[in-house]
A and B are shown apart, each in its own frame.
Chain A
Amino acid sequence: MKDEVTTRESRVDALGGMGCKRKRVEDARFTQGKGNYVDDIKLKGMLFGDFVRSPYAHARIKSIDTSAALALDGVIAVLTAEDLRPLGLHWMPTLAGDKQMVLADGKVLFQGQEVAYVVAKDRYIAADAVELVEVDYEELPVIVDPFEALKSDVVLREDLVAEDGSLPDGAHGPRKHHNHIFTWEVGEKEATTQVLDSAEVVAEETVYYHRTHPCPLETCGCVASMDKVNGKLTLWGTFQAPHAIRTVVSLISGIEEHNIRVISPDIGGGFGNKVGAYPGYVCSVVASIVTGVPVKWIEDRMENLMTTAFARDYWMTGKISATKEGKITGLQCHVTADHGGFDACADPTKFPAGFMNICTGSYDIPTAYLAVDGVYTNKAPGGVSYRCSFRVTEAVYFIERMIEVLAIELNMDAAELRRINFIRKDQFPYKAALGWEYDSGDYHTAWDKAMKAVDYDGLRAEQAQRVEDFKAGKTRKLMGIGLTHFTEIVGAGPVKNCDILGLGMFDSCEIRIHPTGSAIARLGTISQGQGHATTFAQILATEIGLPADSITIEEGDTDTAPYGLGTYGSRSTPVAGAATALAGRKIRAKAQMIAAYLLEVHDDDVEFDVDRFVVKGAPEKFKTMKEIAFAAYNQAIPGIEPGLEAVSYYDPPNMTYPFGAYVCVMDIDVDTGEVDIRRFYALDDCGTRINPMIIEGQVHGGLTEALAVALGQEIAYDEMGNVKTGTLMDFFLPTAWEVPNYETDHTVTPSPHHPIGAKGVGESPHVGGVPCFSNAVNDAFRAFGLRHTHMPHDHWRIWKTANELGLHG
C-alpha cells in the first residue's frame, strides 16, 4: 500500500496544518475581483437610503421640511425622528450603555449627525433628494475640548439631566458634571500617591493620543430585506459581530431572533470601525419593513470618516517613579477621554475605558493607580479599538512614552531602563498592579534578540556622531532610534468579566465531517481580511488529521454559524481558535472509538498519529481519518451514534498576552520636518504560530497603520466643530510609497492556558508600532532637550518642535 511507504514527515506536509506557510485560500477571489461585498448585493426592487446630515456640530432643530424631497420623482419616503418615535426607534442603545439618536431628536451634537433618511429608487435620486430636505437649525455654542466641556455651562445632553437639574447616574456610576460620562478607577490611589511622594526620582508628562479613525477601505453599509410573507428579516452588512447585531436588532425591533438572519459577506477591512450599530442599519431595517422591499445603505468616504466610529482621543497625564538606579516603583495615570456626543465606545460592559489598565506594560511595577474620566463633546461618537484590543494601544503608547521620559529624567539609556524593569520569565503567571494576570512571557530574551539584531550600541554611536555633525553644521538631519517593548491583552474574554450588552464573550466552532473525509467548520467570528478560512483550516487539519485543503471554513451567516461575539480585539484565534481546536478534539475522540472498533482493539490501544489512528506498538495496523470518516456514515457501530460532528463553545480562562520588541531608525530633516524611516525591526511573540506568512502579512499591515497614526493620520476639528480631515486628501492613508521595508522576527512563548498555545497577532504590530515610530521622533530631539512632543508627527509639527528647540538658527 502506498500509505505504508509514506514517511511521517510527508504525511504532516500533506495536511497543510499548523506552522506551515499555507497560501491564503481567500486570495483567489479577491485578486480576481470575485469577492462579494455588501455593495455587490443587488436584489429585485431594491431601494436606496441616504442621509441628510447636520452641517453644524451643535444646533437645535427648529423644523424639518421634507415636502420638496418627497415631491421628487423616485423618492419613496423621508424618515425623521418623528416617524421613528412611535416605534421607539428614534434613539438606540449604544454598546457603552448610553443611547444615541438614530435621527436627530430636536438637536444635533456633532457635524455629520444623521438628521433625516431619504429612501429612493436609486442612489442618484436619493442624493438629489437629500439636498431638497430643508432643515432649520438654530446654532448652539460648540465644545470640542473635553477640558472645557467639564467646566462649561453648556449642556450637551439635556436628556441626561433630570428635571430638577440633578444628574442621574450613568451606566458606570455617578457623574460629576452634566458633560461628564463616567469615572473609572483601578488600583491603589493612596498607596500610589505615597510611593510617588517619597520616590527618589519622578517623571511627569501629559501624553495626548489624538483622535483618528480606522478608515477601512470598504466603508460601512447594509442591505435590509423584510419578507412580509414569512415575516423574516435578512440583514446583510459590514458587521464585525453578526450575531451580536442579530440580538441587538431583535431587542430593539421586537422581531423574534429566529426571524432575523444577519449575514456578513466579504468585508473590506474593519479595524474596529464595523463593530458597533449605526443609525444607517436601523433606518434601513425600518425602511424595508415600511416599504416591504429591500433597502440598501452604503456610506461614502466622508460619511465614514466623519460619523462612524473614531478611535483614541485620550489625554493621558502620568507620573512614574523610580529609584536612582532606575528601578520603577510606581505609576499613576489620569485620562480625560473625549467620547464625542454619545458614548458609543465598543468595550466590554464592565470596562468603560477598555483594558486601559494594562498601562503598566511589560514592567514589574509594584504600585499603580489609573483613573479615567469620560467626557461628552461636540464630536462624532465612537471610541473603538482601531486595530487593537480595547484601548490597549492608548495604554501601550502611554507607558512606552513614560518610560522614555523617565529615562531622560534618570539620564539613562532607554533600552537599559526597560531591561532592568521587565517582568522576569520566572514571574509568570504575573499578577499586575492594575489587576491583570499575564499568562506567559520572556521579555528579556526577546529584547536582547532585538538589540542584537539591530546592533543597538552601533546605532547609538552613530547617533552620537550625527549629533556632533549637526552641531558642527555638517548635516541638517537628525537620527532617531525608536524603542518599544509592548505587552498586549487580547482574546476577550472570560465570560465572568467580559460581556457586550450582556452577551458573554465566548466563541464557538461547529464541525461536520463529510463521509468522504472532507469537512466544513463554522465559527462565530468573521474575517475582514485576517485569513480565517486559511488559518482555522490549518488548526483543524492538525487536530483532526484531514488536509486543510479539504476543510471549508464558513463564517458570518447567523442562520448557519454557531453563536459568537465576532472578530475584533485579536480575539478570533485566542477564543474561536481555541473552540476550533477543542471541537476538533471531540471529533478525534469519537474517531478513536470508531478506529478501535474497526481495528478490533480496545479504545485505549489506538493512538492518533498525524492523519490516522494506529494500534499502539503496531504502526502497520491503522485506519486513516478518511477511512474513519466513511465508517462513521456507513457502519453500524455498537454504542456509537452515526455521523461525525462536534460543536464547542469556548469560554477562555484568561486573556492572552502577546508581546514584542520593536526598533525603528529614522532620519529627520529638521528644516522641512520630513521623516525617512531607514529601518524597522519587529519581533513578535504571539505564542504558537499557526501560519508564519499570515503573521508576516498581519505585521506588515499593522505597522503600516501604525506609521499612519504616528506620522499624520488624524481626525481634526476646528473650534466650530467642523471636521478638517474628511477626505483622503487630508486624512493620511499610506500607500506603498510611504511604507518602509519591515524586518520581521519572532520568539515563541506559548500561552499556557490556550489549547494550542496561540495568543493572537493581528493587532500587536499596531499597538507596538505607534509608540515605536513616535519614540523615534522624540528620541531624535532628545539630545537637544526635548522630553515629549505629541503625535501626529507630521511635517509641520516636527518642524515646530525643531523650531521651538532653536534648531533653525
Chain B
Amino acid sequence: MIPAAFEYHRPKDMAGVLAVLTQYGDDARVMAGGHSLIPMMKLRMADVPHLIDLQSVEGLGGISVADGVVRLGAMVTQHDIIDSAELASAAPILRETSLQIADPQVRYMGTIGGNVANGDPGNDMPGLMQCLDATFHLVGPDGERTVAARDFYESAYMTAREDDEVLTAVSFAVPQGGYGYVKQKRKIGDYATAAAAVQLVKENGVCTAASIAMTNLSDTPVHSVAAGDALVGTSVDDAAIKAAVQAMLGDIDPAQDNRGPVEFKRHAASVILRRTIERAWSRA
C-alpha cells in the first residue's frame, strides 16, 4: 500500500494546472479530495508520475443557487453539500445522497468534481447528476465546453473528459417536485449494492414528469428514460411502479461481485427503485 514515487504540483490557478497537464500529458493527473485517487495509487493501480493538487486553485469552490440554476464548484465537498442550507431547500436530494456516501471523514475530503469525474460506477453522484440532467463544465487547453451528465459516461473509468481537461463545475436546473435517493449497501463506507435517484412532479394526483437513474448496476450510471416514462401520466399506482421497475430492469446490466450475483442485484434494484419512487411520490 505504498505508492510509486511522484512529483507533487500545487498550482494557484487554472492556467498553472493546464500548463502541467499540457507538459506531462498522460503522466499528469489532477487530484481533488484524493479519496479515490490515492487508494488507487497506493494499490499501484494508478501510476501518476505528476500529481496536480487542486486544493489551492482559485475559483473551484462555491455553491450558488441563482435564476433557477444550481451551480457547484468542482471542489465542493460532500460535507459542504450536507452543510448548505441553500441546497437543502433548493435541491434536497443532494443532501440525501451525500449523507449516504462513505463516512464523515471521507465526506470532508471527497468532492463533487472528483466524484463525477472519477468514472467509477460505484460513485453515487454520477447517477444523481443524470437524474437531475446536470451539465458538467470542463476547461482545457482549447478553452471551455460543457457536456451533459447523461452523455458523459462511456464505460468504467472512461468518460467524455479529455485527459488534458479539468472539470470546473456542475450545474442543473433547480429540481421540481418530489425526490428520493435510496441506497442499499452492506455497511457504512460501502458502494451501492443498488441505488436509485428519482425526481418526479405531481400535478392533481398525476405524475407529469419523472426522471430515474440507477447507481452501480452497470459499468456506467444508468439513466432509464423508459422507467421515467412509465410513470408519466399515471397516478404512480402499483401498476405504474411495476412498469417503471420493469423498464429499469431492461436498462441495467449488473455484474456479480462480493455484494452478490446478478440475480440478486436485479431483485435489489427492483426493490430499491420501488421504494425510491414511493418515497419521491409521497414528497411530491
Contact = CB atoms under 8 A, between A and B. Distances in A.
Chain B associates with chain A: yes
How would you classify the secondary structure of chain B's contact residues: helix, strand, loop or mixed?
loop
B66 interface: no
Contact of A800 (B2, B189, B258, B264): B264
Contact of A795 (B4, B189, B191, B193): B193
A712 B187 CA distance: 10
B184 interface: yes
B18 to A, nearest CB: 29
A799 B187 contact: no
Interface stretch (A164-172, A382-390, A726-734, A762-770): A726-734
A799 B193 CA distance: 13
Nearest to B274: A671
How would you classify the secondary structure of chain A's contact residues: helix, strand, loop or mixed?
loop
Nearest to A708: B187
Interface stretch (A63-71, A121-129, A747-755): A121-129
Contacts of B188: 735, 737-738
A796 B5 contact: no
A674 interface: yes
Interface string B173-210: 00000000000101111110100000000000000000
Nearest to A735: B188
**Size class of the contact patch on chain B:** 20 to 34
B174 to A, nearest CB: 32
A716 B258 contact: yes
Interface stretch (B53-61, B127-135, B136-144, B265-273): B265-273
Interface string B231-275: 000000000000000000000000000111100100110011000
A347 B19 CA distance: 62
Interface in A370-393: none
A729 B43 CA distance: 13
Contacts of B186: 712, 732, 794-795
A795 B184 contact: yes
Contacts of A673: 264
Interface in B28-71: 44
A799 B260 contact: yes
A158 interface: no
A671 B269 CA distance: 10
A115 to B, nearest CB: 17
Interface string A395-409: 000000000000000
Contact of B1 (A301, A716, A734, A794): A301
A131 interface: yes
Interface in A263-306: 300-302
Contacts of A808: 267
Given A672-B184, A725-B258, A735-B188, A799 B5 contact: no
Contacts of B103: 735, 737
A803 B264 CA distance: 9
Contacts of A716: 258
Interface string B1-30: 110110000000000000000000000000
Max chain A CB contacts within 10 Å: which of B190, B267, B272? B267
22 contacts: A124-B5, A128-B5, A131-B4, A300-B1, A301-B1, A671-B267, A672-B272, A673-B264, A712-B186, A716-B258, A725-B258, A728-B189, A729-B190, A729-B191, A732-B186, A735-B189, A737-B187, A795-B260, A795-B264, A796-B193, A796-B259, A796-B264
Interface of B: 1-2, 4-5, 44, 103, 184, 186-191, 193, 258-261, 264, 267-268, 271-272
3 nearest A-B pairs in the assembled complex, by CB-CB distance: A796-B260, A127-B2, A300-B1
Interface of A: 123-124, 127-128, 131, 300-302, 671-674, 712, 716, 724-725, 728-730, 732, 734-735, 737-738, 794-796, 799-800, 803, 808
